Amino acid sequence: MSILGILNIGTTALLTAKSALNTTSNNIANASTPGYTRQSAVLASVPSGLTSMTGTSGNGVTISDIERMYDSFTTLQLRNEKSTSSYWNTYSNYAGSIETVFNETSDTGIGPAISSFFSAWQQVAQDPGNTVQRTALINAGQYLASRINSAYNTMADQQGQIYRNSQDLVTQVNNISQQIYSLNEKIVASPGALDLKDQRDALVEQLNEITRVDTVQDGGGRYAIYLGGTALVDPSGSYSMSVALDTSNAMQFSVGSANINSLMTSGSLRANLDARDTTIAGYIGQLNTFAAGLGNAVNNQQALGFDLNGNLGGNFFSTTAGFDARDLRVTITDPRLIAASGTAAGVPGNNTNAQAIADMANSGVAQLGGITPIEYYSRLVAATGADAQSANTYIKFQTALVSQLETQRQSVSGVSLDEEAVNLVQYQKSFEAAAKLISTGNDLLETIIGMVK
Amino acid sequence: MRITTQMLYTTFNYKLQNTMNDVYTTDQQLATGQKLNKPSDDPAAVSSISYQKSQLSSIAGYQDTIGNISTLLNATSSVLDNLKSLISSAKQIGNNAMSATASDLATYASMIDNVINGAVSAANTKVGDKYIFSGYGTDQPAVASATGTLTATATADLIPMQIDVGASVNVNVTANGFIASGTAQDTTTIIGAMQALKAAIQANSQAGIQTAMTALDSLSGRVMSTQSDVGVRLNRLSIEKDYLTSRDTDVTNSVSDKMMLSTVDIARLSALSQQQQAALTSLRTITNGVLNTSLFDFLK
């Protein structure tokens, strides 16, 4: 080993310590970067290439690899659970909005409006000839209709908002797919680009939160992304997802010409699909049934009675075939046209028809399956509450699970500033020692050169 | 397990969110005084509350109906009292007429006229804008004042009114066939018998006077029997009113139990709120202590 060899070894030590410091610096800089995977410099001694019975010292140190501390199993689990978590978070938001439409803990819900409507009929039955009571009944009917219209419109607006949100999410899916494809090509060209791999993994995670996908890595390091078997990204390119409304106002998702509704198992888009086209559509259907049932029952009974002019009663509510709850209106404007009397001769004192309608509050209505209007409505309220409650329970569970998995992943892939501080001191001292080695080699050379003088 | 910086942030963030959520829920309950603020707090209870509130509304409606029916029946009872007095007066005049001289008969006939007018007026009693003895024809008088006979619009119909689910009470007594009929001097009716008495007095017919007075005797009994029937109805209303008041209290209490915080709940929640706030403060202190320092703070 020559003195120059000491200088060479010192140089490798200096450069290696500097590179290790770079890695540590990068870790510290990205300690808070989402998706960043901790990197670690793997040091290896440089062999001398000579063998000797007495042993031969090596030629210094080098960095054999910059390792990415990646836990593929936990990452995969986390992606899947985040997808489920995203589903319940999204669904819960919508369920929470819908339950406020039917919030019967306040006195401004539809329930009190139903009660007021039937109370108004009872008032008319008490004094069937009195136009003040009749006018009050028309007002109560208009208020009930407006509350039902408002509930329908709120839910229909929610459906519109979910569709617009789905369009935005589909655009995001397409952007992410293109970015993953682009990163695939860069990673293939530069396999050591660890930060690009982090970016790609972060995108896959983001994609999973929107819609659950499967990821397959090929030998070249490319990711192929499949949504239930349909490729979004493969070695040939990325494929656009789209969403449109069909003739029955239901969302249809597709990739190319293939419909993928049934392939979406979790994520925000699945939550959008379920909330919009199953849950809210179901509530709207029930509200339509309620409005039509109530409207037709009142109209049918109204048609059996006689108004203050002695004529058979006309429709109280406007109900036409295939009508929606938003169309429910009170058609009667003249209070004299309310058919309170059971007979033409009984006008104005006969109250049997008004009483029959008032009795609907407590007796079953055939159009509502034989139960009372308030019972039908109460079941709807319970369903919305149970839906929101169930979603909240799932969220609590999923949030805890995701938090636990995130902790596990962070344990392997996350940056510890304390640990990096230790590394920083360690490599700083290595750097100082390497510098001292070079300085010592230099002193030795100086000594030898001095001997010659 | 390696503890990393991001792990600490994530964990503390998760715990802070959970604790703040608990504090928010408890504070919201205390602020509103309600256990339930949205259907998802307890779907079955909210559904039941919705149904029970409707029951309370029905009960209030029935209580209102009972109040109105009571007013009508009390007015009817007063009128029947009045009719009883008028019959008694008519009979007194008839008795006097039987022993009176011919020259006094015109005076007695005139006195009967006043009694008849009183009976017509009683038959046309209004409560609010309704004629209460007109059957279904509540917008028209029951008896024509000129003839003392029933008007064309007055009917014999009783008007039932619901006072609870499946329970009703007739709210009226009709003049038809009782106070008057379509025929003058019909002795089966009060005014008719009085008219017959007047005619008999004018004709100085002892037999006629006697017949009319016998009819009035019988009608006096009918008035008392009708009054008794009205009393029974009023009694039933009173019982029903008590029952509805009791039900109203029960249902109100049930709704309140499900929805509102009791004194015990408030004490429990106040203690819980203090515990949660103490936990939150501790968590914030710990978070601040752990996240605010690292080894870098000790390196020189």
Q: What is the pLDDT of residues A162-173, one digit of tens each?
A: 999 999 999 999
Q: Which residue from B minimizes the CA distance to A354? A: B161
Q: Which residue from A minimizes the CA distance to B153? A: A345
A24 phi, psi to nearest 5 deg? -60, -45
Q: Which residue from A minimizes the CA distance to B260? A: A105
Indicate the residue of B3, B6, B43 with minimum beta-carbon distance to A386: B43
* Chain B residues closer than 8 Å to A120 by CB: none
Q: Which residues contact A288 (CB under 8 A, 6 or more apart)?
A: A152, A323, A324, A325
Q: Which residues contact A434 (CB under 8 A, 6 or more apart)?
A: A10, A11, A13, A14, A16, A17
**pLDDT at residue number A48:** 74
Sort residue B100 into left (φ over 0), alpha (ψ -120 to 50) or beta: beta
Q: Determine what percent of chain B is predicted with pLDDT higher than 70.
A: 100
**pLDDT at residue number A59:** 86
Question: Using the beta-carbon criterion (under 8 Å), do B50 and A111 form an inter-chain contact?
Answer: yes
Burial degree of A447 (CB within 10 A; 0-12, 13-18, 19+): exposed
Does residue A67 belong to the interface with chain B, where contact is any CB pair within 8 Å? no
CA angle B232, B238, B242 (to 5 degrees): 145
Question: Using the beta-carbon criterion (under 8 Å), do B7 and A410 form an inter-chain contact?
Answer: yes
Whole-angstrom Cα distance, residue A183 to residue A39?
19
- ipTM score of complex: 0.83
* CA distance, residue A69 to nearest chain B CA (Å): 12
Q: Say whether B161 sits in a helix, a strand or coil.
A: strand
Tokens of B271: 């203690």
* Chain B residues closer than 8 Å to A340 by CB: none
pLDDT at B300 over 80: no
* CA distance, residue B124 to nearest chain A CA (Å): 15
Q: What is the pLDDT of residues B190-205, one digit of tens each?
A: 999 999 999 999 999 9
Return the closest-CA partner of residue B118 out of B191, B182, B175. B191
* CA distance, residue B55 to nearest chain A CA (Å): 8
DSSP sequence for B40-108: GG-HHHHHHHHHHHHHHHHHHHHHHHHHHHHHHHHHHHHHHHHHHHHHHHHHHHHHHHHTS-GGGHHHH
Question: Using the beta-carbon criterion (under 8 Å), do A416 and B4 form an inter-chain contact?
Answer: yes
Q: What is the pLDDT along chain A (453 residues), one digit of tens a residue?
A: 578 888 999 999 999 999 999 999 999 999 888 889 999 999 999 887 666 666 667 889 999 999 999 998 999 999 999 999 999 999 999 999 999 998 887 777 899 999 999 999 999 999 999 999 999 999 999 999 999 999 999 999 999 999 999 999 999 999 999 999 999 999 999 988 899 999 999 999 999 999 999 999 998 899 999 999 999 999 999 999 999 999 999 999 999 999 999 999 999 999 999 999 999 999 999 999 999 999 999 999 999 999 999 999 999 999 877 779 999 999 999 999 999 999 999 999 999 999 999 999 988 899 899 999 999 999 999 999 999 999 999 999 999 999 999 989 999 999 999 999 999 999 999 999 999 999 999 999 999 888 876
Question: Using the beta-carbon criterion (under 8 Å), do A385 and B46 form an inter-chain contact?
Answer: yes
Question: Using the beta-carbon criterion (under 8 Å), do B162 and A116 form an inter-chain contact?
Answer: no
Q: Which of B37, B40, B134 is the best residue to mutate to test the A interface, defined by the most A CB atoms within 10 Å of its own CB?
A: B40
CA angle B5, B10, B16 (to 5 degrees): 125
Indicate the residue of B4, B65, B294 with minimum beta-carbon distance to A421: B294
* CA dihedral sign, ordered B2, B8, B10, B12: positive
Whole-angstrom Cα distance, residue A364 to residue B165?
12
Q: Domain B61-256, CATH 2.40.128.90 — does that match?
A: no
Question: Using the beta-carbon criterion (under 8 Å), do B42 and A385 form an inter-chain contact?
Answer: yes
User: CB-side exposure of A403: number of CA atoms within 13 Å?
Assistant: 17
Question: Using the beta-carbon criterion (under 8 Å), do B57 and A119 form an inter-chain contact?
Answer: yes
**pLDDT at residue number A5:** 85
When comparing pLDDT for B66 and B5, which is higher? Answer: B66
First to last CA, chain B: 28
**What is the rounded average pLDDT for all residues in chain B?**
93
Whole-angstrom Cα distance, residue B146 to residue B184?
11
* Chain B residues closer than 8 Å to A125 by CB: 65, 161-162
What is the Rg, in whole angstroms, of the alpha carbon atoms belonging to chain A? 37
Burial degree of A192 (CB within 10 A; 0-12, 13-18, 19+): exposed
What residue ranges do the domains of chain B occupy? 1-33+266-293, 61-256
* CA distance, residue A112 to nearest chain B CA (Å): 7
Which A residues, 105 through 164, put their C-beta within 8 Å of a C-beta on chain B?
105, 109, 111-112, 114-116, 118-119, 122-123, 125-127, 129-130
Indicate the residue of B2, B65, B299 with minimum beta-carbon distance to A411: B2
Does residue B20 belong to the interface with chain A, where contact is any CB pair within 8 Å? no
Q: Which residue from B minimizes the CA distance to A36? A: B6
**pLDDT at residue number B79:** 97
Question: Using the beta-carbon criterion (under 8 Å), do B5 and A100 form an inter-chain contact?
Answer: no
Q: Which residue from A minimizes the CA distance to B4? A: A416
Q: Which of A24, A100, A115 is the best residue to mutate to test the B interface, defined by the most B CB atoms within 10 Å of its own CB?
A: A115
**pLDDT at residue number A53:** 66
Strands ordered across the beta sheet of A241-245: A241-245, A251-255, A258-259
* Chain A residues closer than 8 Å to B168 by CB: 355
- What predicted TM-score, i.e. pTM, was given to this entire model? 0.85
Give bridge partners of residue B34 from the DSSP assignment.
Answer: B260
Give bridge partners of residue A100 from the DSSP assignment.
Answer: none
User: CB-side exposure of B69: number of CA atoms within 13 Å?
Assistant: 34
